[in-house]
Amino acid sequence: MALLEVSDLRTSFHTRGGVVRAVDGVSFTLDKGETLGIVGESGSGKSVTCYSLMKLIPEPPGRIESGTAFFDGQDLLQMSPKQLRKIRGNRISMIFQDPMTSLNPYLRISTQLIEALRIHTNIDKKAALKKAIEALEEVGIPGAAQRVNQYPHEFSGGMRQRVMIAMALITEPDLLIADEPTTALDVTVQAQILDIIKERQNRLGTAVILVTHDLGVVAGTCDKVNVMYGGKLMESGTAEQVFYNAIHPYTRSLQKTIPSLQAKGENLYTIAGLPPDVSKPIHGCAFYPRCPYPKTGAPEGDRPQLVDAGDGHCFADCRFCDSSAPIETVLPQKDAGDLAGEELA
């Protein structure tokens, strides 16, 4: 049995401007020890998916409209707040995007580190503190025994994210949800943080959901990948499938945006246009207006369903464009003068 089985999750926000369908029917599974990457632009619903699983959506205005999320046989979405509290921080932990604001500046690191332990286990304070120091050492914080008594503002951004990881993993959870854990950090620190997550995961056998907008991060760390756009999955499969045999035009466009995969001296590829406004009804493929492929029809009807292309590699079959066309044809045209100007700048 899978550790986590999400099906048809729908979360929306009821604002004055209308109903924002942030997550609109998302399904996926995750096994023990596996790493799932959820990729997409801002506003694609990847973070909301994770918060919905933990029921951390502020209600109102948010509301989980439908769906199930079976975690170890229990539906997280049907749990009482009390049951949920027993799972949160104990069996499912979470790391957030901005380590500068995710730690409480009024409490010592030690207090915050041992909090989950003290709530979920019968450990005494002294033993918990010992474990906290160990946890800090394991994420590579030098002088952990002293630093544990300091306050968050005495730590740098990268160090704080290490603290967050130590804090999330101190109860040895079955599942770690990492919501863009490296986005707010320096590039040099990003790789270290990912390595630490990977290393801890291997030691503890934790399953990880890694939310990111950086395809490069996913390629290096994930077993499975979900590509999200406009609140729906566009493509899902193993990292290999999604990377080397990408089917959906959106996935392929995303790949084109990875800077290190692009030839030197060229303009960086960007996907023209803006992500869809999910507060308005979307007809046909949500990506249609930005799709670089030759259009073969007008978008109409419901949004495309996920179709299995074989071996669990699914994609949203949109049929409104000719995705068999080679992707090279969609590169932005560029003339020599433009290039010269670019180099001068």
Partner 1 sequence: MLRFIATRLLQGVLVLLAIYAVTFFLVAATPGSPFSSERAISPEILAQIESFYGYDKPVTERFVTSITNVLHGEFGPSAVYANRTVTQIIGASFPVSAKLGLFALAVALGIGIPVGILAAVRQNSWLDYLPMSISMGGICLPTFVMGPLLVLIFGLILEWLPVAGWFGWEYTILPSLTLGLYYAAYFARLTRGGMLEMLNQDWVRTARAKGVPERTIIWKHCLKGGLIPAITFLGPALAGIISGSFVVETIFQIPGLGQWFVKGALNRDDFLILGCTVLFAALIVVMNLIVDIVQVALNPRLKYE
**Interacting residues toward partner 1 by CB under 8 A:** 54, 56, 84-90, 93-94, 96, 98, 101-108, 115-116, 119-120, 151, 153-154, 164, 167
Closest to partner 1 by CB, 185 vs 282, is 185
Q: How far is the CB of 185 from partner 1 (least distance, A)?
A: 15
Q: How far is the CB of 137 from partner 1 (least distance, A)?
A: 21
Q: How far is the CB of 45 from partner 1 (least distance, A)?
A: 18
- 173 burial (CB, 10 Å; 0-12 / 13-18 / 19+) is buried
Closest to partner 1 by CB, 103 vs 278, is 103
Q: How far is the CB of 24 from partner 1 (least distance, A)?
A: 23
Residue 54 — left, alpha, or beta (φ > 0 → left; ψ -120 to 50 → alpha)? alpha
Closest to partner 1 by CB, 78 vs 101, is 101
Closest to partner 1 by CB, 103 vs 225, is 103
Closest to partner 1 by CB, 112 vs 255, is 112
Q: How far is the CB of 104 from partner 1 (least distance, A)?
A: 4
Q: How far is the CB of 90 from partner 1 (least distance, A)?
A: 6
Q: How far is the CB of 115 from partner 1 (least distance, A)?
A: 6
DSSP SS3 for 318:
coil
| Secondary structure letter of residue 259 according to DSSP | G
Nearest C-alpha neighbor of 246 from the set 67, 150, 238, 149:
238
Q: How far apart are CA 237 and CA 242, in angstroms?
A: 6
User: Which residues, in sequence order, are bridge partners of residue 235?
Assistant: 227, 315
Closest to partner 1 by CB, 6 vs 282, is 6
First to last CA, the chain: 56
Q: How far is the CB of 101 from partner 1 (least distance, A)?
A: 4
Q: How far apart are CA 334 and CA 341, in angstroms?
A: 11
Task: Give me the half-sphere count of Cα atoms (radius 13 Å) on the Cβ side of residue 38.
Answer: 29
The token pair that represents 275 in the structure block: 């992500």
Q: How far apart are CA 82 and CA 320, in angstroms?
A: 47
| Secondary structure letter of residue 241 according to DSSP | H
User: Which residues, in sequence order, are bridge partners of residue 16?
Assistant: none
Q: Where are the alpha helices (DSSP H) in 17-140?
A: 46-53, 81-87, 99-102, 109-120, 125-138
Closest to partner 1 by CB, 108 vs 290, is 108
Q: How far is the CB of 171 from partner 1 (least distance, A)?
A: 9
Looking at the chain, how many residues does it have?
Answer: 345
Closest to partner 1 by CB, 105 vs 259, is 105
CA triplet 248, 39, 261: central angle to 5 degrees? Answer: 75
Closest to partner 1 by CB, 97 vs 255, is 97
Q: How far apart are CA 103 and CA 167, in angstroms?
A: 10
Q: Are 141 and 159 in contact (CB under 8 A)?
A: yes
